[in-house]
Every structure is written in C-alpha cells, then in structure tokens.
C-alpha cells in the first residue's frame, strides 16, 4: 500500500490499451532523440556521448515526478546554447573541467527547480510573458544558426558575438572545406525538403496522414545514417579532412555525484545565477509545451509538480554524467501525435537509448559534424516565430516592443543578458499596467440603484460628493496613483465635502495601500472632506476593521453605493434646513 502511494498515479492506474500508443511514441521519439542528443551536446560544447547520457535517467526521473502525459524530456537547443554561453568564458570546450562544470550546472538547476517545486513557486513561470519568451527563443535560434555555420562549412570562423562571426564570414569563405560544406549543405537541403514537402507528398500518394507526418520526423536519422556510411566508405575524414564525431565510449556511465573539491565549491557561487536562469527558461519552455498539449486532451498540468519533475530530471542527468535537460518542443509534439498516453513512452525511449549506449556507440564514429550542424539548423529555424510578432504588433504594441527588444537583446548582448532583459521588461510592463489602475468617477442612473461612469453614461451626481469606482486591487504599485487622482479631483472641485470610494473590485489591500489611505483620510479630514467607503468585500473589510483607519472610518463604511448616496443627500438636506432655520 505504502509503495503504491509513492508511485505516480498514471503507473498505478495503467491500462493495457495505452501500451500500444506508448510503445509507438517511445520508439518514434528515440529515432529523433539519437541525432538530436548528439547534435545538442555538440552545440553545448560537450562530447556527443554526454547528449546520450542526458537521454536515459532524466526520462525515468521525469516519469516518476512530472505531471505531463506527453512531455518528452532530454537535451534541447536553447538550454544547450545557454550551457555553452555560460561555460565558454570560464573553461575550454571539450576539456574535463568544462564537462565537470556542465554536470554541476545540471545538478544546480535540478536542485533549484526541485526546491522551488517543494516551495510551491510554480507561479514564478509567470515572470515571463509570452512575447518575451517568443522573442527569446527566436533570438536564440538565430544565434544557434550563425554559431553552426562553422561546423556546417568546415570554416575556422571566430566565435564571440554574432556580428564578429558574420563579418568574418566573407573573408574566410575561400578557406572552406569543400567536402564538408557539400555534405552539410546536402543534408540541410534534404532535411529542409523533408520537413517542407515530404509530408504533403506522402499524403498525396495515399499514405495515411499520421504516418506521413511521422515519416518526416525520421529524416534526420536517415541523414545521420547515410552521411556516416558515406564518410566511412570513402574515408573522407582522412582524405578530405571532414571533421567526425570520433570515438564514443560505450557503456552507461557509473552513477556518481559530481566531485566537489574546494574549487568546485567556489564554482557553485559562480554558476548559481546562470543555473537559475537556465532553470527558469527550461521550466517556462516545458510548462508551456506541456500545457498546450494537455489542453488538447482536456488534461491538466500542475506547475509545482512540473517543477519537481524537471528538477528531478536534471538531478538524474547530473548523476549520470549528463548536462541540463528540459522538455523539448518538437519531440513533445511528436510524442503526443505518435500516441503517447503516459510517461511510459518516455521510459520506452530511455530503455532504447540505454541499449544504444551499451552496444551501438561505435556506429557514430564516422558521423560528420557538419550533418549534426545541419540537423541543428533545421530544428531551430522551426523555432523562429514570426507569427507571434505579427499578432502582437496588431494587438498590443507594448507586447510587440518587448518581443523585439528581447530578440535583439539576445542577438546583440548575449543569451543570459537577453533573458534577464526579458524578465525585467515583463515585470516593467506588469508594474506599468498595475500602476495605471482604472478609476472611474460614477453617478447614479436616474431612478435606479445602479451607478455608472459619468463619462460614458447619462447619470446624476450629488453636489459636494465625488464617487470613485476603483477597478483593481490596491497595492504598492498603484495606491499612490489613486491618491494623486483624488488630490487632483479635490483641487479641481473645491466644493467637495465627501469622497466615496467604491471598492467593489478591490480584492486585496496591501499594507502600503493601507498606509496611503490612512494618510489620505487624515489629510482630507483636516480640510473638512470626509472619506467614505462602499461595497468593500468581506475579506478586505475583516482585515481593515481592527486597523486605526478602520476604527476612524467605522461609521463611514456603507454596504452599498446607494446607501452612501442616500446618506449624503440626507445630510445635505439637514444642512440646508439648518441654514434656512438660521435665515428665518
């Protein structure tokens, strides 16, 4: 019984009819995963075997802890780019230190994500708006593409900023390795053709839609096999200097904690912020893929379980000599459409990858780097997302601007700087929107108890009374704006005797807002203006009542705006009566 509780619910409730879908999906994903894991490890500056290692245990770990039924976890393009961009300045790509740091990065990311999941910080995914994510991913895709030109063409291009690389290109072009470039560009054209035309072609000749779609996903594996065979057969690595993967050690790596000597401990603090950024981006990417797939089947994603799932996958990756992983977009979509019903599909992939690592690593010896570069380029150009930009531009210029700024931030400043810029932009937009609460001056619809905006409707107001409806919760980001608005109204209407705040939409009132209202009430009182509230929600009133402001205002809090209007009218009548008595 205890055991069953520890197991994920998909496993304890597993139904036999699901098995066919899970098996098919697991196998199809494996065929995509083999070339991608080798390619993305190369993109991250790591030996290709590391990509394979990162494709076994993490899939098991996610199956145990994650919440998505369709997410395919493993090495992905953006996290690989971020790994390279973090590590390249502090270690030599390919060196043992570089690998140790990549493992440490995965461990740190995993621990950060897992703890965040335990602390229920899933809401942190909302730190990034969709336009910012879109700009970030498109920018990363451009960076990756330019970075791969070197391997694709067999050219000694300088790494560094995208401008450095591109400006060196024309000069270096004559030095290109013709055999490498031919192999790479052929693969590129083939892969591009397969993605663009193979599916429709197969459908036209009568192949069922699903199978036609899946067949196109096998193209990268085909390119890998064909190019490896050609290089091996003609010995192009020796005769034409084509750069190849070389020896890939066979066998699964032993489970081990990354060794932490003193210098590694000081590394920890150096890698902490980059690890947090990789975690954030990886998590946001995963959750959005998982959520949009779940939606198609009416399933749900729990962001906090998702944090623990991706966290566990990264810890598992570090323990087995891998590097940061997350849920990838393309493979998850394929997994889903190939019929994956549960994370068992991921376990099928993991087992198949383990078999490849145990027995077939020799096959990758002659795999040319240029074909891996072609695989990467075709995969990431699919991530460049113009539609979101066009939609955002039509719908909301502020969103389109933050998309463009993030895109150019990534390209011109770098990956980490770009994502930080994106976070800051998202939050600045959030603060800016929150700091512009909608506040309407309202009046009574004649003959009713309804109150509407005076600027949009024919309504009646009472002399000396200004009624304001606040259409948002009040907190530090906007309370001062309300205060300024009220001061402005009082200055414009010197005969004001009463300010009525209609708090029907105020769900929260934080202590900054409480402080500002307290100050405002005193300031108004000293000028003989009475502050009044109406339609306060229950929970807000419960907290307000025992405060000094609540004490002072207890006779000026009305249940409905109508009552407040009536009370004001009565008082005015009384005053008028007193005045006329005095006159009489």
CB 74 within 8 A of CB 314: no
* Residue whose CB is less far from a copy of itself, 31 or 419: 419
Smallest distance from a copy of itself to CB 297, Å:
9
DSSP string, 340-395: --STHHHHHHHHHHHHHHHH-GGGGTT-BHHHHHHHHHHHHHTT--HHHHHHHHHH
Question: Per CB under 8 A, does 433 bind a copy of itself?
Answer: yes
Tally of CB atoms within 10 A around 460? 11
Smallest distance from a copy of itself to CB 190, Å:
33
Going by the DSSP 8-state scheme, the letter that residue 126 receives in this structure is G
**CA 442 distance to own-chain centroid:** 40
Of 410, 452, 83, residue with least CA distance to 279: 83
Q: Which of 435, 448, 576, 578 binds a copy of itself (CB under 8 A)?
A: 435
Block residue for tokens 């000396």: 464
Strands 530-534 and 498-502: parallel
d(CA 281, CA 426): 14
For the chain, helix (H) and strand (E) counts, in that order, are: 27, 8
d(CA 98, CA 85): 12
Contacts of 458 (CB under 8 A, 6+ apart): 445, 446
* Residue whose CB is less far from a copy of itself, 58 or 443: 443
* Residue whose CB is less far from a copy of itself, 158 or 488: 488
Q: Which of 7, 13, 92, 126 binds a copy of itself (CB under 8 A)?
A: 126
Residues 291-310 that bind a copy of itself (CB under 8 A): 291-292, 295-296, 298, 300-301, 303
Smallest distance from a copy of itself to CB 329, Å:
15
111 phi-psi bin (left φ>0, alpha ψ -120 to 50, beta other): alpha
Smallest distance from a copy of itself to CB 118, Å:
16
Stretch that binds a copy of itself, among 13-21, 59-67, 85-93, 428-436 (CB under 8 A): 428-436
Q: Which of 161, 186, 243, 512 binds a copy of itself (CB under 8 A)?
A: 512
How many angstroms separate the Cα of 16 from the Cα of each of 19, 31, 70?
A: 6, 24, 17
Question: Per CB under 8 A, does 475 bind a copy of itself?
Answer: yes
Residues 487-506 that bind a copy of itself (CB under 8 A): 487-488, 490-491, 505
The structure tokens listed for 536 are 């306060």
The structure tokens listed for 422 are 């994106």
* Residue whose CB is less far from a copy of itself, 12 or 435: 435
Question: Per CB under 8 A, does 542 bind a copy of itself?
Answer: no
d(CA 50, CA 321): 7
Stretch that binds a copy of itself, among 25-33, 218-226, 485-493, 555-563 (CB under 8 A): 485-493
Q: Which of 196, 457, 493, 543 binds a copy of itself (CB under 8 A)?
A: 543
Smallest distance from a copy of itself to CB 477, Å:
4
Smallest distance from a copy of itself to CB 572, Å:
23
The structure tokens listed for 522 are 């005193």
Going by the DSSP 8-state scheme, the letter that residue 559 receives in this structure is S
Number of residues that bind a copy of itself (CB under 8 A): 69
Question: Per CB under 8 A, does 483 bind a copy of itself?
Answer: yes
Site string for a copy of itself, 518-537 (x = CB under 8 A): -xx--x--xx----------
Site string for a copy of itself, 448-467 (x = CB under 8 A): --------x-----------
* Residue whose CB is less far from a copy of itself, 310 or 429: 429
> Quick one: angle between helices 162-172 and 130-153, nearest 10?
30
Question: Per CB under 8 A, does 272 bind a copy of itself?
Answer: no
Q: Which of 426, 496, 530, 561 binds a copy of itself (CB under 8 A)?
A: 426
Question: Per CB under 8 A, does 427 bind a copy of itself?
Answer: yes
Smallest distance from a copy of itself to CB 134, Å:
10
Smallest distance from a copy of itself to CB 568, Å:
21
Smallest distance from a copy of itself to CB 528, Å:
11
3-state SS assignment for residue 324: coil
How many angstroms separate the Cα of 239 from the Cα of each of 151, 231, 235, 314, 368?
A: 18, 10, 6, 41, 13
Q: Which of 362, 471, 573, 579 binds a copy of itself (CB under 8 A)?
A: 471
Residues 86-105 that bind a copy of itself (CB under 8 A): none
Going by the DSSP 8-state scheme, the letter that residue 436 receives in this structure is S
CB 347 within 8 A of CB 74: no
Q: Which of 247, 510, 542, 574 binds a copy of itself (CB under 8 A)?
A: 510
Block residue for tokens 């390279």: 84
Smallest distance from a copy of itself to CB 481, Å:
8
d(CA 189, CA 148): 15
Smallest distance from a copy of itself to CB 7, Å:
22
Strands 326-327 and 498-502: unpaired
* Residue whose CB is less far from a copy of itself, 259 or 491: 491
Question: Per CB under 8 A, does 447 bind a copy of itself?
Answer: no
d(CA 262, CA 269): 12
Residues 354-413 that bind a copy of itself (CB under 8 A): 388, 391-392, 394-396, 399
Q: What are phi and psi of 208, to 5 degrees?
A: -55, 145
Question: Per CB under 8 A, does 472 bind a copy of itself?
Answer: yes
d(CA 48, CA 247): 9
Residues in touch with a copy of itself (CB under 8 A): 123-131, 291-292, 295-296, 298, 300-301, 303, 388, 391-392, 394-396, 399, 426-438, 456, 471-473, 475-478, 480, 483-484, 487-488, 490-491, 505, 507-508, 510-512, 514-515, 519-520, 523, 526-527, 538, 543, 546-547
């Amino acid at each position: 019984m205890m055991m069953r509780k520890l197991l994920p619910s998909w496993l304890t409730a597993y139904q036999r009819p699901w098995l066919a879908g899970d098996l098919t999906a697991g196998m199809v994903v494996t065929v995509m995963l083999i070339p991608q894991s080798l390619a993305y490890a190369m993109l991250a500056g790591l030996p290709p075997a590391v990509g394979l290692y990162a494709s076994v245990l993490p899939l098991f770990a996610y199956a145990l802890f994650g919440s998505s039924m369709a997410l395919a976890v493993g090495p992905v393009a953006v996290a690989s780019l971020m790994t390279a961009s973090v590590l390249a300045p502090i270690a030599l790509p390919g060196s043992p230190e570089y690998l140790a740091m990549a493992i440490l990065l995965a461990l740190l990311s995993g621990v950060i994500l897992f703890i965040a999941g335990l602390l229920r910080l899933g809401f942190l995914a909302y730190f990034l708006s969709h336009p910012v994510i879109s700009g970030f991913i498109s920018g990363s895709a451009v960076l990756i593409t330019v970075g791969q030109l070197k391997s694709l063409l067999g050219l000694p291009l300088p790494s560094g900023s995208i401008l450095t690389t591109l400006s060196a290109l024309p000069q270096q072009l004559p030095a290109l390795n013709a055999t490498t470039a031919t192999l790479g560009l052929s693969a590129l054209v083939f892969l591009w053709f397969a993605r663009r035309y193979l599916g429709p072609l197969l459908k036209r000749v009568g192949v069922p839609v699903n199978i036609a779609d899946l067949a196109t996903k096998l193209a990268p594996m085909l390119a890998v096999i064909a190019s490896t065979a050609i290089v091996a057969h003609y010995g192009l690595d020796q005769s034409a200097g084509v750069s190849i993967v070389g020896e890939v050690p066979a066998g699964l790596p032993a489970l081990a904690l990354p060794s932490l000597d003193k210098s590694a401990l000081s590394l920890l603090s150096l890698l902490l912020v980059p690890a947090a950024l990789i975690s954030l981006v990886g998590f946001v990417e995963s959750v959005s893929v998982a959520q949009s797939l779940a939606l198609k089947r009416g399933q749900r994603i729990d962001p906090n379980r998702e944090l623990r799932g991706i966290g566990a996958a990264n810890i598992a990756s570090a323990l087995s000599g891998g590097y940061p992983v997350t849920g990838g977009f393309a493979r998850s979509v394929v997994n889903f459409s190939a019929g994956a019903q549960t994370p068992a599909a991921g376990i099928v992939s993991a087992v198949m990858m383990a078999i490849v690592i145990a027995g077939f690593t020799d096959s990758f010896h002659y795999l040319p780097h240029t074909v891996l570069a072609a695989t990467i380029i075709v995969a990431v150009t699919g991530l460049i997302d113009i539609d979101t930009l066009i939609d955002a531009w039509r719908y909301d210029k502020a969103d389109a601007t933050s998309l463009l700024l993030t895109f150019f931030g990534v390209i011109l400043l770098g990956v980490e700087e770009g994502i930080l810029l994106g976070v800051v932009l998202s939050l600045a937009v959030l603060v800016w929107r929150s700091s512009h609460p909608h506040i309407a001056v309202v009046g009574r619809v004649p003959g009713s108890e309804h109150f509407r905006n005076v600027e949009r409707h024919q309504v009646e107001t009472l002399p000396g009374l200004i009624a304001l409806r606040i259409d948002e919760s009040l907190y530090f980001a906007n309370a001062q704006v309300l205060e300024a608005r009220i001061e402005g109204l009082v200055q414009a209407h010197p005969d004001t005797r009463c300010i009525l705040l209609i708090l029907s939409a105020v769900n929260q009132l934080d202590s900054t807002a409480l402080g500002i209202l307290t100050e405002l009430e005193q300031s108004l009182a000293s000028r003989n203006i009475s502050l009044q509230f109406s339609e306060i929600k229950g929970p807000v009133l419960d907290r307000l009542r025992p405060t000094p402001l609540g004490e002072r205002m207890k006779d000026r809090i009305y249940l409905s705006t109508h009552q407040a209007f009536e009370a004001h009218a009565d008082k005015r009548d009384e005053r008028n009566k007193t005045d006329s008595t005095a006159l009489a």
